[in-house]
């Protein structure tokens, strides 16, 4: 399978797929560009690690249709930004819509139109399914409607990596998209053949709990949590979905021919997560700069991690009370890590604070890489003007805050390979 990796970062999707089967999944093209930064560090790390592919370091908006059409990719993968997906009418756009400026999901849609891949594998934050706050689920419904118009089906699942044996409590939405003319899709149509407009719970339950991609690779309890489930028929018009969506989207679901079935699911608690104590480096390998010897900094961490209740005022004069619960003074080494953010390593409430041998310290870049199941020192070097250059620690932590757990992608890759082998 030939793969195009969009929003590639430092190569998390590629690492996961190659760990599944390097010969089967061959990433031929990648695109990585950080519009808010002058230096393109992630692209330079990717270039250093993967010099064998065509790595395109420009804004995806500036990749021409001709360039996309020249890529005969079987699969597109990527972790795209979570933005506002509301749309407006436009006569210029082939889909009859005009996404808000800068919303990069529409660039994925453009790539699909140009390349027509068999599959896509996308990743996003779990709140995607509940956005925006005033019309929960609308953004994801807009995406489903757009993909349906292009003749694709969609399966999704919110996966917490720690529930499936990983070292980080990181919840992310994984989205598997497949073309409707594939045998994999036609087989589903045969199962739906004698049902009423695809609205048969038993057929969907068979797929969601047993035969689907995520069901096989990430087992779940065999009934909806608190009986939360919903069928929803999407409008054929994307703007109609954007303006009038009134359904719900739970953490698991499948969309076929414009109708989706979504349920709330819980993982089977059969896989033990990796605790922090098993991923931290030997203390003799930890440079002194990661230890905190400054009492003021420790006091700041204590304050940030403690409970708070403050009176605040909005710009228009409204007074409200802001409250925040307390955390443990330091991270429990017997538990998996918390969700890493791009601020990891700074004096911040979300930063991991370790206490080992009665000394306080931060995570090292290697430990951050291990939390995301990257190889040690994956982000240590980059290529700049043909020269190998070391990457700053702060930037390495930023990379990992943006990255994904590659072992989750490895398992999804295992499932996609089985599907594609049957297709062939």
Residues with catalytic roles: 82
Report whether the peptide linkage leading into residue 132 is cis, meaning its omega lies within 30 degrees of zero: yes
Partners of residue 78 on adjacent β-strands: 6, 122
User: Rounded to a whole number, what is the largest CA-CA distance in the chain?
Assistant: 70
Q: Does the CA dihedral 293-299-302-304 come out positive or negative? A: negative
- Of residues 196, 216, 212, the one with CA closest to residue 204: 212
**How many helices (H) does the chain have, and how many strands (E)?**
13, 18
Residue 326 to residue 237: CA distance in whole angstroms: 46
Mapped onto helix, strand or coil, the DSSP state of residue 208 is helix
What's the rounded Cα separation, in Å, for the pair 115 and 32? 18
Nearest to 94 by CA among 106, 80, 81: 106
Name the one residue in this structure whose structure tokens are 């990433």.
Answer: 27
Q: Which two tokens stand for residue 356?
A: 């080992």
89: helix, strand or coil? strand
Q: Which candidate, 122, 31, 30, 17, places its Cα nearest to that of 78?
A: 122
Q: Say if CB 135 and CB 245 are below 8 A apart.
A: yes
Residue 367 neighbours by CB under 8 Å, 6+ apart:
279, 280, 281
Cα separation, 381 vs 397, whole angstroms:
13
Nearest to 169 by CA among 380, 331, 392, 35: 331
Q: For the chain, report the end-to-end CA distance as a whole number of angstroms.
A: 11
Give which of 251, 188, 184 is closest to 220, Cα–Cα: 251
Residues 6+ apart with CB under 8 A from 298: 292, 360
């Amino acid at each position: 399978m030939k793969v195009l990796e969009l929003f590639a970062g430092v190569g998390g999707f590629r690492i996961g797929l190659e760990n599944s089967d390097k010969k089967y999944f061959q990433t031929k093209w990648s695109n990585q560009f950080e519009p808010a930064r002058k230096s393109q560090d992630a692209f330079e790390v990717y270039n250093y690690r993967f010099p064998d592919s065509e790595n395109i370091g420009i804004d995806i908006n500036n990749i021409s249709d001709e360039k996309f059409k020249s890529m005969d990719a079987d699969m597109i993968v990527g972790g795209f930004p979570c933005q506002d997906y509301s749309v407006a009418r436009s006569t210029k756009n082939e889909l009859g819509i005009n996404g808000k400026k800068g919303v990069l999901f529409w660039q994925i849609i453009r790539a699909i139109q140009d390349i027509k891949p068999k599959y896509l594998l996308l990743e996003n934050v779990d709140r995607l399914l509940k956005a925006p706050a005033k019309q929960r689920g609308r953004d994801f419904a807009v995406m489903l409607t757009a993909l349906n118009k292009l003749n694709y089906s969609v399966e999704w699942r919110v996966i917490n990596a720690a529930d499936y044996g990983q070292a980080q409590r990181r919840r992310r939405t994984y989205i598997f998209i497949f073309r409707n003319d594939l045998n994999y899709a036609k087989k589903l149509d045969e199962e739906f053949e004698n049902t009423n407009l695809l609205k048969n719970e038993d057929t969907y339950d068979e797929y969601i709990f047993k035969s689907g991609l995520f069901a096989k690779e990430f087992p779940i309890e065999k009934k909806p949590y608190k009986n939360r489930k919903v069928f929803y028929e999407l409008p054929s018009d994307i703007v109609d979905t954007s303006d009038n969506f009134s359904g719900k989207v739970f953490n698991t679901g499948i969309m076929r021919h414009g109708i989706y079935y979504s349920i709330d699911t819980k993982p089977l608690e059969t896989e033990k997560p990796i605790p922090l104590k098993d991923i931290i480096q030997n203390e003799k390998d930890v440079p002194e700069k990661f230890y905190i010897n400054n009492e003021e900094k420790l006091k700041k961490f204590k304050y940030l991690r403690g409970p708070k209740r403050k009176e605040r005022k909005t710009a228009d004069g409204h007074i409200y009370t802001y409250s925040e619960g307390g955390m443990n003074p330091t991270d429990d080494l017997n538990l998996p890590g918390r969700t890493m953010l791009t601020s990891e390593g700074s004096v911040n409430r979300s930063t991991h604070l370790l206490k080992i041998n009665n000394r306080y310290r931060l995570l090292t870049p290697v430990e951050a890489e291990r939390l995301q199941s990257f190889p040690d020192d994956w982000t240590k070097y980059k290529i700049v003007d043909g020269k190998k250059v070391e990457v700053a620690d702060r930037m390495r932590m930023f990379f990992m805050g943006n990255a994904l757990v590659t072992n989750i992608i490895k398992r999804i890759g295992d499932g996609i390979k089985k599907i594609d082998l049957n297709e062939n």
